Amino acid sequence: MSQEIGFDRQKYIKMQSEHIAERRRNIAGDNGRLYLEMGGKLFDDFHASRVLPGFTPDNKIAMLRELKDEIEILVCLNGKDLQRQKVRADLGITYEDDVLRLIDVFREGGFLVKNVVMTQLEDDNAIALAFMERLERLGLKVARHRTIVGYPSNTKLVLSEDGFGRNDYVELERDLIVVTAPGPGSGKLATCLSQVYHDHKRGINSGYAKFETFPIWNLPLEHPVNLAYEAATADLDDLNLIDPYHLAAYGQQVTSYNRDMETFPLLKTMLDQLTGQSPYQSPTDMGVNMAGHCISDDEVCQRAARQEIIRRYYKALVDEAKEGLDGEVSGRIAMVMAKAGTSTYERKVVGPALEVEQATGQPGSAIELHDGAIIKGKTSPLLGCSAAMLLNALKYLAEIDPKIDLLSRESIAPIQTLKTEHLGSRNPRLHTDEVLIALSVSAGNDPLARAALGKLKELEGCNVHTTTILGSVDEGIFRNLGILVTSEPKFQRKRLYRKH
């Protein structure tokens, strides 16, 4: 059975590209420049693809390809995020590495990208300064943007030579500038406004618009899709709000969020001062977002969004357990779950995984396949519960008798010997990567193994729950397979030191 679809991808690409072109004409005219702030991930928006089934992770970049020859990409990176060694959780890489990855992918797709902006840069930030030097050695131009005390509320200071005036100006080649970043809080809006400020000083007509998928302005404030965004940004303490400026200007209730409310007065004041009149009466006016018009099945999207909220809750619990943090973030997401009218019980794999652990006294796992079947995995001397569950699921999909061992004890034993006697591992059980390699080797001569291996793609988008925190190897395999995993916030063994 295929995954449910609740979003019209092709309609979105067409509507969004047309709307961006129209906004550019209306704001910047034929000879002006438009800075388009891109919220969320640009070409691998996994959050959007999870809560809007049918929205593929590359939807945004597919839309921008319609305008590729007119676009220049500008990448922002917050210097403070480098100090914090911030990591993209969905990819498991640092923001520094993600900036390099982003630039490579943009260039491979034929997009022009030559500039990076380091925002909130302080002179004592040695990590940021070193990364800037590395970028320059790689042939990129790096602009320095300083922390402005009182931003965004102190508009008089921000719109002065002691505010945006201290920032480097980015020399650009094209007039449709897409401003993106590896994650939220990277300074995209401040970069756009700083550029508009410097453009005005140089006599260049320029404007600003925002392409922010979430929250979706024409969905209700507490629609599960918008609540899922609130859960995803709980670490930033973001909140969805009714846009009071839009309500006052048009008498219409639409959904926005707190950071746009905070920065809108600066944006409107700045545009009033620089251009004589702001084209925007509300934060919602700034947006170029057609996603709400492309939902084809609201019930499917609501279900998917509730699952995302629960996943975010478990992720927060696991992160807090790993780092020894308090429950502030998971507490916020628990409140979001309550607003969405859901709980961990709605995640169908949680109960079966816990039942395995209760019955065996060892870690258990469960996966929900697209036809609704729940397949379990238990821990044994040969296999970890995740590896066992993976094999059991593949046997089910390939219609292989569950009593048949796809991997014989004889084929597993040499791998265990290699691990424990030569590679220094104390755990003889096979991880998911080792099981898949063994299955691949067996597939050369065994038609059953070959049939099972051929079903791997059918696991993409399936939900999994494990009763202990996954190791980095299993976590990486599930991520690469597109499997959506949650875990109980506890380790299989109690240790003070752990490799990450």
CATH code, domain carrying 264: 3.10.630.10
Query: Is 245 inside a domain boundary?
Result: yes
Checking if the pLDDT of 458 tops 90, the result is yes
Question: What is the C-alpha separation between 271 and 280, in angstroms, rounded?
Answer: 9
Instruction: With respect to residue 100, please indicate whether it lies within any of the assigned structural domains.
Output: yes
Over residues 133-145, mean pLDDT:
97
Residue type, 80: K
- Distance between CA atoms of residues 368 and 197, nearest Å: 52
What is the percentage of the chain residues whose pLDDT exceeds 90? 65
Domain boundary among 260, 294, 328: 294
Query: Is the same domain home to 111 and 36?
Result: yes
Per the domain annotation, does 422 fall within a domain? yes
Residues 222 and 371 in one domain: no
How large is the average pLDDT for residues 369-395? 95
- Per residue in 470-494, pLDDT (tens digit) is 988 899 999 999 999 999 999 976 6
Report d(CA 372, CA 242) in Å as an integer: 37
Instruction: Copy the structure tokens of residue 378.
Output: 């238990």
DSSP 65: G
Q: Does the pLDDT at position 419 exceed 80?
A: no
In a domain, 395, yes or no: yes
Six-digit token string for 399:
């219609």
Map tokens 């597939």 to a residue: 443
* Least confident segment among 21-30, 176-185, 223-232: 21-30
- Mean pLDDT value across residues 161-188: 93
Cis check for the bond before 381: say yes or no (omega within 30 of 0): no
Least confident of 21-35, 153-167, 333-347, 460-474: 21-35
Q: Which of 25-34, 182-191, 319-328, 456-465 has the lowest mean pLDDT?
A: 25-34
Contact in structure between 59 and 48 (CB atoms under 8 Å): yes
Q: Give the total number of structural domains in the chain.
A: 2
Q: Is residue 342 part of a domain?
A: no
Residues 6+ apart with CB under 8 A from 480: none
Residue 1 confidence (pLDDT) above 50: no
Same domain, 286 and 351: no
Predicted confidence band of residue 28 (pLDDT cuts 50, 70, 90): confident
Residues 351 and 290 in one domain: no
CA distance 365 to 378: 7
Kind of pairing, strands 93-94 and 33-38?
A: unpaired
Provide the residue range defining the domain that includes 242: 9-294
Shared-domain flag, residues 114 and 231? yes
Residue 273 sits in the same domain as residue 382: no
- Residues 100 and 229 placed together within one structural domain of the fold: yes
Residues 287 and 366 in one domain: no
pTM: 0.85
Local confidence band at 42 (pLDDT 50, 70, 90 cut-offs) = confident
Q: Which residue has the tokens 């258990």?
A: 364
pLDDT-based confidence at residue 130 (cuts at 50, 70, 90): very high
Instruction: Give the SS3 label for residue 456.
Output: helix
Are residues 105 and 206 located together in one domain of the fold? Answer: yes
- pLDDT, mean of residues 58-83: 90
Measured distance CA(378)–CA(362) in Å, rounded:
7
